[in-house]
C-alpha cells in the first residue's frame, strides 16, 4: 500500500477500499459498488472499468496462496483526470517472476500499438491455461493505453506481495 500512497496522493478521494478474499461473491460486491460509484461516466466506460476490475481480482484469485487469500486488497480512487485501480495480494516468488517478465514486456510495448497488437496475437496463439493472467493484463493494457505499474515486496520465504496499479484516463 505504501507504493500506491507514495505514487498517488489521491487517498482523500477514494471510493472503494476492500480487504479480504477476492472470491466470486466479493468480486460481485466490489463490481456493484464500483459501477454505482462511477455513474458520472458513460455506460461504456463504466462497463470497461468494471471488467478491468474483475480481471484484476481474478488474477489474485487464481494466483494468491490459499492461506493468504484473505490478505488481498483493492482500492479505487479517482480525480478529475483519471481513475486508479490498486490491487495487491500474496503470490509465490515463482509467480512474481512470471508477472514481472510479462508486465515488463507489456510496458515496453505500450507506446507502439502495432507491437502491442502483435504481442497479443502471439500470446493468443501460444495460449495455455497457466497464461490467463498475462493475457488478461495485456488485454487491459491494450484498452487503456497506459503502462501497468507494479511492485513486489518480499513477504515470507518464497512469497511476495504483488501490488498492481492500473491508471485509466477519463
What confidence tens digit (pLDDT) does each residue in 103-131 have?
Answer: 998 999 888 888 888 887 877 776 554 55
pTM (two decimals): 0.85
- At residue 147 the predicted structure's pLDDT band, cuts being 50, 70 and 90, is very high
Give the per-residue pLDDT at 131.
Answer: 57
Is residue 136 within 8 A of residue 55, CB to CB? The reply is yes
Report the C-alpha gap between 63 and 58 in whole angstroms.
8
In the chain, the domains with their CATH numbers are 2-169 (3.30.565.10)
Give the per-residue pLDDT at 12.
Answer: 52
Mean pLDDT rounded to a whole number for the chain:
84
Amino acid at each position: 500500500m505504501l507504493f500506491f500512497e507514495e505514487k498517488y496522493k489521491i487517498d482523500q478521494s477514494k471510493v472503494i477500499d476492500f480487504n479480504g478474499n477476492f472470491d466470486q461473491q466479493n468480486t460481485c460486491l466490489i463490481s456493484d459498488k464500483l459501477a454505482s460509484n462511477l455513474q458520472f461516466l458513460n455506460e461504456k466506460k463504466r462497463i470497461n472499468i468494471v471488467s478491468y476490475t474483475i480481471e484484476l481480482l481474478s488474477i489474485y484469485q487464481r494466483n494468491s496462496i490459499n492461506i493468504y487469500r484473505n490478505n488481498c486488497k483493492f482500492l479505487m480512487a479517482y480525480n478529475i483526470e483519471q481513475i486508479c485501480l490498486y490491487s495487491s495480494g500474496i503470490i509465490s516468488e515463482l509467480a512474481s517472476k512470471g508477472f514481472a517478465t510479462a508486465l515488463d514486456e507489456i510496458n515496453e510495448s505500450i507506446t507502439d500499438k502495432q507491437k502491442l497488437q502483435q504481442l497479443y496475437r502471439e500470446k493468443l496463439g501460444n495460449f495455455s491455461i497457466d497464461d490467463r493472467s498475462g493475457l488478461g493484463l495485456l488485454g487491459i493494457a491494450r484498452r487503456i493505453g497506459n503502462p501497468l505499474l507494479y511492485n513486489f515486496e518480499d513477504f515470507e520465504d518464497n512469497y511476495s506481495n504483488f501490488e498492481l496499479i492500473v491508471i485509466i484516463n477519463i
